[in-house]
Structure 1
Amino acid sequence: MPLLVAGLILFLGIHSVSIVAPAWRDAQIGRHGEKLWKGLYSLASLAGLLLLIYGYGVARQSPVVLYTPPQALRHVALLLMVPVFPLLFAAYLPGRIARMARHPMLVAVKLWATAHLLANGTLADVLLFGAFLAWAVADRISVKRRAVPHSVPRAPAGAMNDLIVVVGGLVVYGGFLYRVHVWLTGVSPLG
């Protein structure tokens, strides 16, 4: 469990700099340059991600069950996951879906975390998915309060983007349902 917690602190911590210390972030970029900041940010993010993935795997070997979700919630989780990958695509392919969601990446993270909290009841699950849900809510509040939003590299706006978002996102979701989730976690979301 300590490795999972350390990974969450590192990964979500670096992703929370804009939430808790935006002036410090801007000062670091001004002092050292955007390329160095992005490089260090990426390294810290990658280290945190690898640590939390490994820590989650270790924690799952000795699960501490906090609650046992009813089977029906697993079906609800599958439905909540349907828009997640299209929303992730929409974060980088501007169109009507991205405009309607306003912050599609954060909406996707909230849905992903909520779905997994409904379907899983171990301490490791609650820590992992609960931390991501709390972070996404905090970041959404922070984004509302920012005077100048951070720019995210995106594809040019186009009439086909919404079609690509929906079809591509659903294809990826199908891949996760039938192969990728089992390959990554050893657990089939289909039971």
Structure 2
Amino acid sequence: MTLLILGLLIFLGLHSVSIFAPAWRDAQVAQRGENAWKGIYSLLSIAGFALLIYGYGQARQAPVALYTPPTALRHVALLLMLPVFVLLLAAYLPGRIKSAAKHPMLLATKLWATAHLLANGNLADVLLFGGFLAWAVADRISMKRRVARAVPGAPAGPLNDVIALLGGLAIYGLFVMGGHRWLIGVNLF
């Protein structure tokens, strides 16, 4: 559990710099340069992500049950996951979906985390998905008082929504049909 917590602290901590210390972040970029900042940020993020994945895998070997969700909530979780991949793609494919969602990556993260909290009740699940949910909520709230940085992506275009919708639904279908089992080790059905 220690590695999961350490990974979460590193990964979400880094991703919270713009929320809690935007002036410090800007000073680091000014002092080190944009590329150096992004390089350090990326390496530390990858290390944190690797730790949380490894730690979560370890924690699943000796689960600590906090609650047992009813089976029906797994179906609700599957429904909540339906727009997640569409929103993730829409974050990088500007169109009407991105405009309507305002911050599609954060909305996707909130839906993903909520779905997984509904379907899983172990301590590691609550730490992982609850941590991401809390971070996404805090980041969304902070977006109201700070200037959003540009997200790299495709130029705005009328086909972006179609690509995001069809691509997102295709990825969802792959996950449901066995991708989740292959990648995560958990069969959805």
Measured against the shorter chain, the TM-score band is over 0.9
Q: Which amino acid aligns with 1:34?
A: E
TM-score, with structure 2 as normaliser: 0.99
Q: How far does residue 178 in structure 1 lie from its aligned partner after superposition?
A: 1.3
Q: Write the distance in 2 (CA, Å) between the matches of 1:149 and 1:127.
A: 27
Q: Write the distance in 2 (CA, Å) between the matches of 1:185 and 1:167.
A: 23
Aligned partner of 2:78 in structure 1 is: 78
Q: Secondary structure at the match of 1:144?
A: coil
Q: How far does residue 139 in structure 1 lie from its aligned partner after superposition?
A: 0.3
Assess if the C-alpha contact under 8 Å between 1:69 and 1:118 holds in 2. Answer: yes
Q: How far does residue 184 in structure 1 lie from its aligned partner after superposition?
A: 1.8
Q: Write the distance in 2 (CA, Å) between the matches of 1:67 and 1:61.
A: 17
Q: Write the distance in 2 (CA, Å) between the matches of 1:8 and 1:23.
A: 23
Query: 1:10-54 CA deviation, whole Å, 9 max, x = no partner?
Result: 000000000110000000000110000000010011000000000
Assess if the C-alpha contact under 8 Å between 1:178 and 1:188 holds in 2. Answer: no
TM-score, with structure 1 as normaliser: 0.98
What percentage of residue pairs aligned between the two structures are identical? 70
Q: Which amino acid aligns with 1:66?
A: L
Q: How many residues align?
A: 189
Moved >6 Å (runs of 4+): none
C-alpha RMSD of matched pairs (Å): 0.6
Do structure 1's residue 16 and structure 2's residue 16 form an aligned pair?
yes
Q: How far does residue 68 in structure 1 lie from its aligned partner after superposition?
A: 0.4
Aligned partner of 1:180 in structure 2 is: 179
Q: Which amino acid aligns with 1:57?
A: G
Structure 1: gaps (5+ residues): none
Q: Which amino acid aligns with 1:128?
A: L
Q: How far does residue 151 in structure 1 lie from its aligned partner after superposition?
A: 1.2
